[in-house]
Amino acid sequence: MTKPDRLESRQIRIILCAVILVFFFLLLAFRLWQVQVLQGMRHRQTTQRQSIRPVLLNAARGRIIAADGRVLADSISQYDLVAHVSEMRQPGRPVHTIKHILACERLLAMTIGRPSQLDEEAIRRHLYRHPVMPLVFCRDLDPAELARAAELAPPVAGLEIVPRVERRYALPGVGTHVLGFTGKKLPENTSLGEDFSRVYVSPEQVGRSGLEGYYNEVLSGKPGARLVKVDSQGYVYEDVRQALLPRHGNDILLSIDSNAQQAADGVLQGHHGALVAVSVRSGAILALASSPTYNVAGLTQRAFAALVRDDSGRPLLNRAVNGLYTPGSIVKPLVALAALERGHLDPEGLYDCTGRFMVGNHAIRCAKRSGHGLLNLKQAITFSCNPYFMEAGCHTGIDELYPFFAAAGFGEKTGLDFPESVSGIAPQREYALKNMHRNWLMVDTAYASIGQGMVMLSPLQAALYAAALANGGILYKPYLVEKIISEQGEVLRQTAPVIRHRMPASEKHFRLLRSAMESAVQEEGGSASGLQSTGLSLAAKTGTAEIGSGDDRKKDTWVICYGPLEAPEYAIACLIEEGESGGRTAVPVVALFLRRWLEATSGGQRP
């Protein structure tokens, strides 16, 4: 090939390459014109819709329901106006975003008629500590505020009205120590998978005390979540994936009778003390009240701190379960039972009460300083004679008394499905050695026989002991939760009665004690005769325990009772701190409780 031919061939290839390049440039230009001009509007709208928001769906807590069907605690929805700060970000320095958020908050606050709650420092703290969390502008919007906020929220990017689940207690101030209260806590682990690792969450409700705390896992349920796309106005227009629905908490059905609980809380007002009513046949708790109490509705951190600091009233102490008291004379039926069973007491034998009992050179006085004179077991129970039972206790001896105290539940926790911290004290030699660093003495037996000295228990333990006297010596494990019910209505758990101990005594001796305790109510001048006003057939025993010494000496006053006598169904223990005596202080409280319970029961039938 000649040189001109080669040159011509090279020129053709160059021209061909140029044409191809020009063609591709023209194709690219056409495509850019198509995308930017013809499809520009659609792409701008799509770009604006690229905010993906993971949203945690909190589960509603389960309900707490009384045995009579009344809902004591449930969940309701409140509405908040919040700002998603990531969608309100402004160009430039962070202060521009802060000022923009503050301006939006003040505009909305003015529009719905509320004072502004935020300042620049509060917003700066939120952006630094919780940038992924919504910032709350207004809480608990009422219907009128909701309507005004709904009109304003869409035009401002990032604003949203969100529901928030709150706990509601149907009977504020009633059963507070039983129900407990909830607090707010950010979920520690959403367990929702990788897509939800930076999820928008709101604080969830967590049980802090009482049944709310003890059964928190049962009541809480499991959270769910949505992964959604929102437009520039904050409207959700698409779910990225199918929502994980929350699984709401289970309901718990209590053994508590709401009428009995209201009556118990009512009669204790103005007192420091407790009242417990239990089922004689199962240990189910019918009422459990402690006073002073408090109202969980609107309980703030400041109000809670004041409750913590109240050392005199100690309203946070559940005296019914975790209060520890000297029982006084309510132990006398137990001492009599031990003495009868061991053959150290003749129920018809007479004892001459002179007003004091001598242990060596130490005199222990009777409540009746002049003495009761000659009396038998029934009379000694009826009029609560101290020397009679010190004589019976000392003849029986602590080694034979202790098994009866232990079988009655003294010195051990009840096993209640509830936060319980005390076990009480049962009188025994080991206790004196371990805690007093000395041997057990005869005077210790004398005092223990009248419920003084090294013997203590809680009002709940006293109620269960009274129930055991009524049912022939069976000490049950108490419970508050009768059933756990799923959201679908399935019974997940049902509580069955559990026997803890049996008192080692015959039915014959139980009948003697029941007759004597009935006499304490029915006999004129009986220590519990104030219960006659109820019109119910009851058996009872009062107690007055002296505590402290000198000018600080005070009396804790007791009464235990059960009824109706023909077929005992309920047993009650009441403790009033710093009273006058069991008969004058605790008995009127229980009598009023029973009358109110009767009045609240349908048709005035007996409980």
pLDDT 10s digits, 386-424: 999 999 999 999 999 999 999 999 999 999 999 999 999
User: String of b and e for 315-333 (b: at least 16 CB within 10 Å)?
Assistant: bbbbbbbbbebbbbbbbbb
Q: H helices within 251-385, ranges in order? A: 258-267, 301-309, 319-322, 332-341, 377-383
Q: Which two tokens stand for residue 12?
A: 């053709």
Where is the domain boundary, 233, 254, 275? Answer: 254
Q: Which two tokens stand for residue 18?
A: 């140029």
Residues 148 and 286 in one domain: no
Cα of 593 vs its chain's centroid, Å: 23
Residues 408 and 463 in one domain: yes
**117 pLDDT above the threshold of 60:** yes
Give the three-class secondary structure for 304. helix
Q: Provide the pLDDT for residue 112.
A: 84
**Amino acid in position 363:** A
Q: Is residue 30 assigned to a domain?
A: no
Q: Taking each helix axis from N to C terminus, what angle separates 587-600 and 258-267, rounded to the nearest 10 degrees?
A: 140
Please name every residue paired with 556 in a beta bridge, in sequence order, or none if there are none: 545
Q: Is residue 1 assigned to a domain?
A: no
Give the three-class secondary structure for 162. strand
Q: Provide the pLDDT for residue 351.
A: 96
- For residue range 90-112, list pLDDT tens digits in order: 888 888 888 988 988 888 888 88
Q: Provide the pLDDT for residue 233.
A: 45
Mean pLDDT of the chain: 88
Centre a 10 Å sphere on the Cβ of residue 465 and count the other Cβ atoms it contains: 26
* pLDDT average, residue stretch 234-249: 69
Rg (CA), the chain: 37
Centre a 10 Å sphere on the Cβ of residue 462 and count the other Cβ atoms it contains: 30
Q: Residue 192's domain is classified under what CATH number?
A: 3.90.1310.10
**Measured between alpha carbons, how far is 260 from 36 in angstroms, rounded to an integer?**
76
Q: Provide the pLDDT for residue 239.
A: 64
Q: Is residue 247 assigned to a domain?
A: yes
Residues 249 and 325 in one domain: no
Whether 528 contacts 557, CB under 8 Å: no
Where is the domain boundary, 208, 233, 254? Answer: 254
Q: Is residue 25 assigned to a domain?
A: no
Residues 283 and 233 in one domain: no
Is 217 or 201 the better-scoring residue by pLDDT? 217
Q: For the chain, give the number of residues.
A: 607
- For residue range 468-488, list pLDDT tens digits in order: 999 999 999 999 999 999 989
Residues 229 and 364 in one domain: no
**35 pLDDT above the threshold of 70:** no
* pLDDT average, residue stretch 432-446: 95
Residue the block writes with tokens 């402290």 = 548
Q: Provide the pLDDT for residue 195.
A: 46
Residues 262 and 243 in one domain: no
Q: Which two tokens stand for residue 169?
A: 């207690």
Q: Taking each helix axis from N to C terminus, what angle separates 94-112 and 120-129, rounded to the nearest 10 degrees?
A: 120
Q: Is residue 29 assigned to a domain?
A: no
E-strand stretches of 60-201: 64-65, 71-83, 135-138, 159-169, 182-185
Residue 216: band (very low, low, confident or very high) from pLDDT cuts 50, 70, 90: very high
Whether 462 contacts 319, CB under 8 Å: no
Whether 536 contacts 605, CB under 8 Å: no
Residues 247 and 296 in one domain: no
Q: Of all residues in the chain, what percent carry a pLDDT higher than 70? A: 87
**Measured between alpha carbons, how far is 343 from 189 in angstroms, rounded to an integer?**
64
What is the C-alpha end-to-end distance of the chain, expressed in Å?
Answer: 124
Q: Provide the pLDDT for residue 196.
A: 46
**606 pLDDT above the threshold of 60:** no
Residues 241 and 389 in one domain: no
**4 pLDDT above the threshold of 90:** no
Contacts of 567 (CB under 8 A, 6+ apart): none
Residues 245 and 278 in one domain: no
Where is the domain boundary, 218, 234, 254? Answer: 254
Q: Is residue 20 assigned to a domain?
A: no
Q: Which two tokens stand for residue 108?
A: 């909305």
Q: Provide the pLDDT for residue 145.
A: 85
Give the three-class secondary structure for 79. strand
Q: Residue 469's domain is classified under what CATH number?
A: 3.40.710.10
Q: Provide the pLDDT for residue 198.
A: 46
**Measured between alpha carbons, how far is 546 from 558 in angstroms, rounded to an integer?**
11
Q: Is residue 496 assigned to a domain?
A: yes
Task: Provide the domain limits for residue 543.
Answer: 258-604
Residue 6: band (very low, low, confident or very high) from pLDDT cuts 50, 70, 90: low
Residues 125, 126, 131: CA angle, nearest 5 degrees: 130
332: left (phi > 0), else alpha (psi -120 to 50), else beta?
alpha
Q: How many CA atoms lie within 13 A of 594 on its CB side?
A: 26
Q: How many domains does the chain have?
A: 2
Q: Is residue 28 assigned to a domain?
A: no
**Measured between alpha carbons, how far is 24 from 10 in angstroms, rounded to an integer?**
21
Residues 222 and 349 in one domain: no
Nearest to 223 by CA among 181, 253, 179, 193: 193
Residues 239 and 279 in one domain: no
- For residue range 170-187, list pLDDT tens digits in order: 998 899 999 999 987 766
**246 pLDDT above the threshold of 50:** yes
pTM (global) more than 0.95 = no
Lowest mean pLDDT among 27-36, 244-253, 270-279, 307-316: 27-36
**Measured between alpha carbons, how far is 353 from 355 in angstroms, rounded to an integer?**
6
**356 pLDDT above the threshold of 50:** yes
Q: Provide the pLDDT for residue 166.
A: 84
Residues 336 and 234 in one domain: no
Q: Which two tokens stand for residue 230?
A: 């929102």
Long-range contacts, stretch 434-443, CB < 8 angstroms, 24+ apart: 440/398, 442/359, 442/360, 442/394, 443/359, 443/360, 443/362, 443/364
**Measured between alpha carbons, how far is 362 from 353 in angstroms, rounded to an integer?**
16
